């Protein structure tokens, strides 16, 4: 695969990246643990101006001009077009390899797509999550299947922008037939899609689903499926996508050749990135950091001309090695065999050697943490 081979030759090919966090949503989904809040339009301009100030101060920390830009959230497609345009132009980014923006089906329009193209967006990530209306209601989503399908068609017809869609599998109410319903609908639109992210539902602290699980007196199966079922869902999704010309370039991500997420690949090879906005994370000069989680605290710090960073961490050499192995195993780039002492027999059926790189087999994807520890400690 071209991009994978290129990254093996130059790990920092898409480094550095910039991530911009927009916390505004129409409603908070039941599984969401991100820093988000129901949109207050009077705060949007003030927040974007605060992020502009933060970026102008911190961009000098980057070793070279950014290669990728990712605007996530939250629901960036809720932002007023003129405000978004002003913010993007203020960053003065040129010659990007990729510019991604997250959108939701109910808030994307032809006019916004036109604007995105004009400001340089090359890729949209559409939060579909499921093609079953019952599951969408369980997730507290603001759209239904019909709206999601129309959004896919709209983005496809617009042209000039790659389309990635997100799916979440393993919700408690999701039966085998429900999952097959989603896969059938996915197959019907897959020719208009360039990239698919598929994530197993997890119960994060302080989410509505976490609270619901506790109220069920430990019967978490009513909220999320068992590990065995999650694995079955995963392999079925991979089977459908690989049968449609996609390849599994990272554990939870499939794409057509040359449609991989450059921005996320930079994360997985431990490239440099700068996060802007509340809760945004950065990795610069070997240091990981994170901004204030709440928007109110973030804005207060910016207003006082203070650094909004509230967490910093520099990994030890052993931690760096473990992280490099864990991330490398998740990604088709793999782990350089030169960085390993040897490959223990206990994991030989879970890995494969491709030239100077070690990658996971299909079964190994489900046991990546175990493989990483064996490689590190054996």
Residue 337 CA to residue 258 CA, distance in Å, equals 25
The answer to whether residues 264 and 322 belong to one domain is no
pLDDT in tens, 250-298: 999 999 999 999 999 999 999 999 999 999 999 999 999 999 999 999 9
Reported confidence tier of residue 215, pLDDT bands at 50, 70, 90: confident
Kindly state whether residue 273 falls inside one of the protein's structural domains.
no
How many structural domains does the chain have? 2
pLDDT in tens, 3-37: 999 999 999 999 999 999 999 999 999 999 999 98
pLDDT of residue 85: 96
Identify the residue whose tokens are 């030169």: 338
Q: Which CATH number fits the domain that encloses residue 232?
A: 3.80.30.20
Tokens of 91: 């960053």
Tell me the angle at which helices 41-58 and 81-91 cross, rounded to the nearest 10 degrees. Answer: 10
pLDDT of residue 218: 54
Window from 36-50, 79-93, 195-209 with minimum mean pLDDT? 36-50
The answer to whether residues 347 and 254 belong to one domain is no
User: Integer distance in angstroms from the first to the last C-alpha of the chain?
Assistant: 31
DSSP per-residue string spanning 207-259: SHHHHHHHHTTT-GGGTB--HHHHHHHHHHHHHHHHTTT-EEEETTEEE-TT-
Reported confidence tier of residue 185, pLDDT bands at 50, 70, 90: very high
Return the higher-pLDDT residue of 313 and 1: 313
Tokens of 12: 């920092």
Tell me the angle at which helices 176-189 and 227-242 cross, rounded to the nearest 10 degrees. Answer: 20
pLDDT in tens, 94-122: 999 999 999 999 999 999 999 999 999 99
pLDDT of residue 1 exceeding 80, the answer is no
Kindly state whether residue 290 falls inside one of the protein's structural domains.
no
Tokens of 109: 């329009």
Residue 251 CA to residue 331 CA, distance in Å, equals 6
Residue 23 CA to residue 35 CA, distance in Å, equals 6
Single residue among 238, 268, 298 that ends a domain in this structure: 268
Three-class secondary structure of residue 162 per DSSP: strand
Kindly state whether residue 277 falls inside one of the protein's structural domains.
no
pLDDT of residue 221: 62
Contacts of 145 (CB under 8 A, 6+ apart): 130, 131, 132, 133, 136, 185
Kindly state whether residue 287 falls inside one of the protein's structural domains.
no
pLDDT of residue 126 exceeding 90, the answer is yes
Single residue among 247, 268, 289 that ends a domain in this structure: 268
pLDDT of residue 354 exceeding 90, the answer is no
In whole angstroms, how far apart are CA 152 and each of 126, 145, 247, 261?
8, 11, 21, 18
335-351 average pLDDT score: 91
Reported confidence tier of residue 200, pLDDT bands at 50, 70, 90: very high
Residue 120 CA to residue 199 CA, distance in Å, equals 28
Residue 179 CA to residue 239 CA, distance in Å, equals 13
pTM (2 decimals)? 0.96
Mean pLDDT of the chain: 94
Reported confidence tier of residue 219, pLDDT bands at 50, 70, 90: low
What is the extent of the structural domain holding 366? 316-378
In whole angstroms, how far apart are CA 136 and each of 52, 173, 210, 211?
34, 11, 17, 18
232-242 average pLDDT score: 97
pLDDT of residue 214: 81
pLDDT in tens, 140-179: 999 999 999 999 999 999 989 999 999 999 999 999 999 9
Kindly state whether residue 356 falls inside one of the protein's structural domains.
yes
The answer to whether residues 179 and 326 belong to one domain is no
CA 226 to chain centre: 23
The answer to whether residues 171 and 52 belong to one domain is yes
pLDDT of residue 217 exceeding 70, the answer is no
For a pLDDT cut of 70, what percent of the chain falls above it? 98
């Amino acid at each position: 695969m071209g991009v994978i081979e290129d990254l093996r030759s130059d790990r920092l090919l898409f480094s550095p990246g910039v991530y911009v966090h927009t916390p505004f949503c129409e409603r908070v989904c039941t599984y969401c643990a991100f820093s988000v809040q129901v949109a207050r339009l009077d705060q949007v301009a003030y927040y974007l101006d605060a992020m502009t100030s933060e970026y102008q101060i911190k961009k000098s920390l980057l070793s070279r001009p950014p290669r990728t830009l990712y605007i996530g959230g939250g629901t960036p497609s809720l932002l007023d077009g003129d405000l978004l345009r002003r913010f993007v132009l203020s960053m003065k980014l040129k010659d990007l390899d990729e510019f991604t923006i997250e959108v939701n089906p109910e808030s994307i329009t032809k006019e916004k797509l036109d604007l995105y193209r004009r400001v340089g967006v090359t890729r949209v990530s559409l939060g579909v999550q499921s093609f079953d209306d019952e599951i969408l209601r369980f997730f507290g989503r603001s759209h239904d299947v019909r709206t999601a399908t129309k959004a896919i068609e709209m983005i496809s017809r617009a042209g000039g922008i790659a389309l990635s869609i997100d799916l979440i599998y393993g919700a408690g109410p999701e039966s085998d037939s429900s999952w097959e319903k989603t896969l059938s609908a996915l197959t019907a639109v897959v020719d208009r899609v360039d990239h698919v992210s598929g994530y197993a539902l997890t119960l994060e602290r302080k989410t509505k689903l976490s609270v619901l699980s506790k109220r069920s007196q430990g019967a978490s199966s009513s909220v999320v499926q068992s590990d065995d079922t999650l694995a079955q869902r995963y392999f079925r999704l991979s089977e459908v996508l690989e049968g449609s010309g996609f390849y599994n370039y990272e554990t939870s991500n499939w794409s057509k050749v040359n449609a991989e997420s450059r921005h996320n690949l930079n994360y997985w090879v431990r490239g440099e990135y700068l996060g802007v906005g509340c809760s945004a994370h950065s990795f610069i000069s070997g240091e990981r950091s994170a901004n204030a989680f709440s928007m109110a605290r973030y804005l207060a710090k910016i207003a006082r001309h203070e650094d909004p960073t509230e967490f910093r961490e520099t990994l030890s050499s052993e931690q760096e090695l473990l992280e490099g192995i864990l991330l490398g195993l998740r990604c088709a780039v793999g782990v350089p065999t030169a960085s390993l002492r040897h490959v223990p027999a206990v994991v030989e059926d879970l890995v494969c050697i491709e030239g100077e790189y070690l990658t996971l087999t299909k079964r190994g994807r489900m046991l990546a943490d175990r493989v990483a520890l064996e490689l590190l400690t054996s």
